[in-house]
Amino acid sequence: MPPKTAAAPARAATEPIIEAVGLGREFTVTEGPFLRRRKRTVSAVRDVDLTVFPGEIVGYLGPNGAGKSSTMKMLTGILSPTQGRVRVTGLEPARRRTRLAARIGVVFGQRSTLWWDLPLRDSFELTRHMYRVPAADHARRLAELTELLELGPFLATPVRQLSLGQRMRGDLTAALLHGPRLLVLDEPTIGLDVVSKSTIREFLLRLNAEEGTTILLTTHDLGDVERLCERVVVIDQGRLAYDGGLAGLRASVPAPRVLVVDLAEPAAPLTVEGARCVRVDGPRQWLELSDNPARVIAEVAGRHEVADLTLREPDIESVVAALYRGAVAGPG
């Protein structure tokens, strides 16, 4: 399926921070019962062209198995591409992994880089040595980050005693202590409660606004996307399916609008041309619209006594679900 595109935000004429052209990664897997094993090639990522400029926040989305983690691993040098080429901050990641590590921060939400048995503060001190950050710079930055991420009270706590949200904030701090230009996040809010999610989202926005840090994140949490990403890239079955703004994403997929009707009395599901009743709860009914809302509203109001009406635009969740379905269904 060719990628759908929408107008990307205006960018300064600067060097891209990420530039991938025709990027691909295949794996050879062995399958089948003993003595009848066969080798099969799995294409995890194919033909991905992706250019990200400094200061962007880009959401990299896709259903399970779409190729997000494989892309992230190629961008951070953990995996070598089998096709195409990629540069991150001007470096070829798999060949210049150590040099690249000094320029980027990486957080994989399900895997901590902190030392489990050490107090948080000691983990940060070890990180300082790994990145060779001067002591005074480290102290200043640690003070800023721990204040913004509300980690002060936990600096003496061993990592294994931290809650998931505290640990995630610790991982973010560790990834940012050396002042990277690019932050790569794989599921940064996975498993967190609403307050912790919000703390992390607000922090990332501030980091981007005040320091100009470029952020590339994968997430299945569309709240992250709505709050953080001016640009989304959708990958499906290894290929790009969309690259553009959130508004364009909404416009590119025909997800239906829903009319919520509060009748004066409970009634049987409404049958109206151009609408499909998808839910009934007492006097409230939800009509999925395939026609002009004004005509549907007029017809419902002509037949029933209506107490209230609300027209709901498709939420980003149903837009993305429709996009994934469309991409899975194939071209067109």
Ligand X SMILES: Nc1ncnc2c1ncn2[C@@H]1O[C@H](COP(=O)(O)OP(=O)(O)OP(=O)(O)O)[C@@H](O)[C@H]1O
Binding site for ligand X (CB under 6 A): 27, 29, 42, 44, 62, 64-70
Q: Which is nearer to ligand X, 44 or 176 (CB)?
A: 44
Q: Which is nearer to ligand X, 25 or 178 (CB)?
A: 25
Q: Which is nearer to ligand X, 103 or 220 (CB)?
A: 220
In 10 A of CB 275, how many CB atoms?
25
Q: Which is nearer to ligand X, 75 or 300 (CB)?
A: 75
Q: Where are the alpha helices (DSSP H) in 193-315?
A: 194-211, 222-228, 246-252, 293-303
How far apart (Å, rounded) are the C-alpha atoms in residues 76 and 74?
5
CA neighbor of 279 nearest in space, from 290, 271, 287: 287
Shortest Å distance, C-beta 220 to ligand X: 7
How far apart (Å, rounded) are the C-alpha atoms in residues 263 and 27?
57
Shortest Å distance, C-beta 222 to ligand X: 14
Shortest Å distance, C-beta 150 to ligand X: 29
CA neighbor of 46 nearest in space, from 75, 69, 67, 18: 67
Q: Which is nearer to ligand X, 65 or 212 (CB)?
A: 65
Shortest Å distance, C-beta 187 to ligand X: 8
In 10 A of CB 45, how many CB atoms?
28
Shortest Å distance, C-beta 76 to ligand X: 13
CA neighbor of 225 nearest in space, from 196, 188, 254: 188
In angstroms, the Cα distances linking 182 to 78, 103, 104 are 16, 7, 5
